[in-house]
Amino acid sequence: MKEVLLKTEGLSKSFSSGGVLQHVLKNIDLTLYRGDFTVIMGASGAGKSTLLYALSGMDTPTLGKITFGQEVISDLSSDQLAVFRRRNCGFVFQQIYLMDGMSVMDNVLCAGLLASRDKKALTKRARELFEAVGIEAKLHGKFPTQLSGGEAQRVGIVRALINEPGILFCDEPTGALNSKTGLQVLDTLTGFNKKGQSVVMVTHDMRCARRANRILYLKDGSILGECELGPYVSGDAGRHEKLSAFLQEMGW
C-alpha cells in the first residue's frame, strides 16, 4: 500500500482575463504518493503549470482543498505557504532561475539556510549532492553565468534537494537544454527518485515522460486519464509502447 503524500479535492482555479473568467483547473481530485515519479502531460494551455504551482503552494486555488500529509495547505496565507514550501518542496524550473549575483554554493546554501541553521551539515550535504549530480568542486565558487546550461540545471536540482523536500516539483526541467545535457539532467532526477525522492514533473517531452512510473494527462483543466508505467528500467521497449498507446488514446 502506497503512502499518500498529497491529495486534492475539487481543486479549481480561475483567472479573470480582459473581464472574461477563464476556468483553468476544473474540479480536480488527485492523490500523489510518496516515492512516485509522477509526470503531468497535456497540450499547451491545458493547465499543467497551473496545477503544478497550485500543488506546490506557489499559488492558491480558487476552490477546493489541498492536503499535504495532515496539513491543509489551501487555507494557508502567503507567508505560511512560503514556510510550507521551504520545508516540504523543491523546485526545478525550465529557466533554471539561479541568482546571478550569488556563487553556485551560495545559491544552494541560500535555500538550505532557510530551513536549517547547521551550516556545517548543510555545506557537507551540498558537496555530496554536487558530487552526485557531477558538479566539480572548482565550480562551487563560480557564478551561474559562468556555467553551461546543463551544469546550471544540475545546480538547480541540488538547490531543490538541499532541504530534503517531501516532493520535488519540476517544470519542464530539460526544456531549455540540448538533448545531451537534458539526458544528464533526467538521469540525475531518475537517480534521486530511485533513492526514494518523490518527483512531480510537468513536461510535454516523451523522453521525460518515459522516466515516470505514473502519467497524468490533463486536458482543458481536467484530468482526462492516467497511466501506470511501473518503475523505470533503461531500454525497456514495452514501456515506450505503453506510453505511446496511452498518449494516442488521450489524443496527444
Partner 1 sequence: MQKSLLIARSNIRKAKGQTTTTVVLILLAAMMLNLWLILSIDYKQNFARTHDRLQDGHVNLLADSREEGITAYLEEQLEEDPRTEALCMTPVLWGTVSFPYNNGDVSCEGFFLSKDAALKRETGRVEFLTESAGSGVYLPMLYGGEGNYQVGDTILFQSEGEELKLTVRGFFNSAMAGSHNCAVNAFLVTEDVYRELEEKPFLYPSIFYSIRITDKNDSQDYEAMVKNLVSKASPQMRALSNSYAMVSQSRYISQSICSGIISALAFLILLIALVVIASNVANYIQENLENLGALKAVGYTGSQLAAALLWQFLGIQTATAAVGIALSYGIFPLVNEMMVSQTGIPYQMRFLPLVALAVLGFLGCVVGLSVWLSARRIKKIEPITALRQGVMTHSFKRNHFPLKDARGPLNLTLALKTAFAGMKRNVIVCITMLALSLVLVFSGLMWRNMIVDMKPFVDLIVGEAADSCLNVDCEREEEFLKVLKGDDRVEKAYLYHTVELRHVGGLALEANLSDDFSRVNNPGVVYRGRFPKYDNEMAIAAKYAREQGLSIGDEIVLTADGHEAAYLITGFTQISNHLGKDCLMTRSGYERMGKLSNASYYIDLVEGTDVEEFHEDVSGRFSGSIHAAINISAVMEGTSAVYVSMMRTIVIAVMVLSVFIVAFVLYLLVRALLNEKKRDYGILKALGFTTGQLILQTALSFLPTVALSLALGLSVSALTINRLVALFLRGIGVMKCTFVVPVGFIVIAGAGLTLAAFGIACLLSLRIRKIAPRVLLTEGGV
- Binding interface with partner 1 (CB under 8 A): 49, 52-53, 58-59, 78-79, 82-87, 89, 91, 93-95, 97-103, 105-106, 109-111, 113-115, 119, 123, 141, 143, 145, 159, 171
> 209 is written with which cell numbers?
515522460
Closer by beta carbon to partner 1, 156 or else 182: 156
DSSP string, 233-251: -TT-HHHHHHHHHHHHHHT
In whole angstroms, how large is the CA radius of gyration of the chain? 18
Q: What are phi and psi of 177, to 5 degrees?
A: -115, 155
Closer by beta carbon to partner 1, 159 or else 239: 159
Closer by beta carbon to partner 1, 51 or else 227: 51
Residue 140 CB, shortest distance to partner 1, in Å, is: 9
Residue 105 CB, shortest distance to partner 1, in Å, is: 6
In the chain, the amino acid numbered 115 is A
CA neighbor of 122 nearest in space, from 137, 104, 105: 105
Closer by beta carbon to partner 1, 58 or else 250: 58
In the chain, the amino acid numbered 92 is V
Q: How far does Cα 245 stand from its chain's mean position?
A: 25
Closer by beta carbon to partner 1, 58 or else 209: 58
Residue 118 CB, shortest distance to partner 1, in Å, is: 12
Residue 124 CB, shortest distance to partner 1, in Å, is: 10
Closer by beta carbon to partner 1, 121 or else 245: 121
Residue 7 CB, shortest distance to partner 1, in Å, is: 21
Beta bridge partners of 71: 68
Query: Taking the CB of residue 26, how many other CB atoms lie within 10 A of it?
Result: 17
From residue 29, alpha-carbon distances to 9, 77, 150 in Å are 5, 22, 35
Residue 2 CB, shortest distance to partner 1, in Å, is: 27
